[in-house]
Amino acid sequence: MDRTLKALSLILSYPTEELQQAMPEIAGVLIAEPGLTAVARRALSPLLEELEMLDIYELQERYVMLFDRSRTLSLNLFEHVHGESRDRGGAMVSLIETYREGGFDPATSELPDHLPVLLEFLSTRPFGEAQDTLADAAHILEALSARLVRRESNYAAAFAALLQLADVKADQKAVAELLEQPDADPEDLEALDQVWEESEVLFGPDPNAGCPQVRGMLARMDEPINPAPGVAAE
């Protein structure tokens, strides 16, 4: 398992007391990662420190305000490349099947395209394969990083680290298109309800359904996968 991708998956998950207790080990993994520059490792330090030291309820409130109350900061990746509702559902069916073929059964109630879930899966794959998948999502990662920088959030450093690991320059036109979408006020609950009710995610039967951007992101993951050593595919 790639411990760095697993560590990034954990720090991008909803904060818990268990996460806080594990932060010294998680921080040790990330600070020692040779695939990150010294600048990137230093940039992660404030986030790692606050996840370990801040009051858990404050951490949870911050997380919800960032990632759960803003569609433009959603950690559900298909929100950022959406076509019709059934297209998104079809793409998620394809992703679920990819997980199953890889012997991966996420123990979570999150949607399959939730970034921490995807990172946990990628941590079980050969690094080249994981790197290719991160490269496919580079424009989303860069847009999320930019939005978090605007909000002066230390979480921006985690997305910058993922972009470094992807080792690819994101399509700047695609990044600009994502950044053109206006940010909703996380305090305006009525407006947020309207945004999230615009379209419902429906799981269609066709695993190849989906808008071209989603299919492109999953292109490598749709190829036949050999289960990881010692892990039997379903």
Number of CB atoms found within 10 A of residue 224's CB: 5
Mapped onto helix, strand or coil, the DSSP state of residue 114 is strand
Task: Report residue 190's pLDDT band, with 50, 70 and 90 as the boundaries.
Answer: low
pLDDT of residue 64: 95
Cα–Cα dist 2/217, whole Å? 21
Rounded to a whole number of angstroms, the distance between the first and last alpha carbons of the chain is 19
* Higher per-residue pLDDT: 198 or 5: 5
User: What is the mean pLDDT of the segment spanning 199-216?
Assistant: 43
pLDDT of residue 184: 64
Task: Report residue 80's pLDDT band, with 50, 70 and 90 as the boundaries.
Answer: confident
Mapped onto helix, strand or coil, the DSSP state of residue 1 is coil
How does 174-209 read in b/e, with b if 16+ C-beta sit within 10 Å?
Answer: bbeebbeeeebebeeeeebeeeeeeeebeebeebeb
Residues present in the chain in total: 234
* Higher per-residue pLDDT: 198 or 133: 133
- The answer to whether 203 and 89 are in contact (CB under 8 A) is yes
| Average pLDDT for the chain | 82
- In the predicted model, is pLDDT for residue 204 greater than 50? no
- List of residues 6+ apart from 107 with CB closer than 8 A: none
Q: What domains appear along the chain, each with residue ranges and CATH number?
A: 3-218 (1.10.3480)
Cα–Cα dist 230/234, whole Å? 13
Top-ranked range on mean pLDDT: pick from 91-95, 139-143, 202-206: 139-143
pTM confidence score: 0.80
Runs of H (alpha helix) within the chain: 3-11, 17-31, 38-53, 56-63, 85-101, 115-122, 127-136, 138-150, 156-166, 172-179, 189-196, 212-218
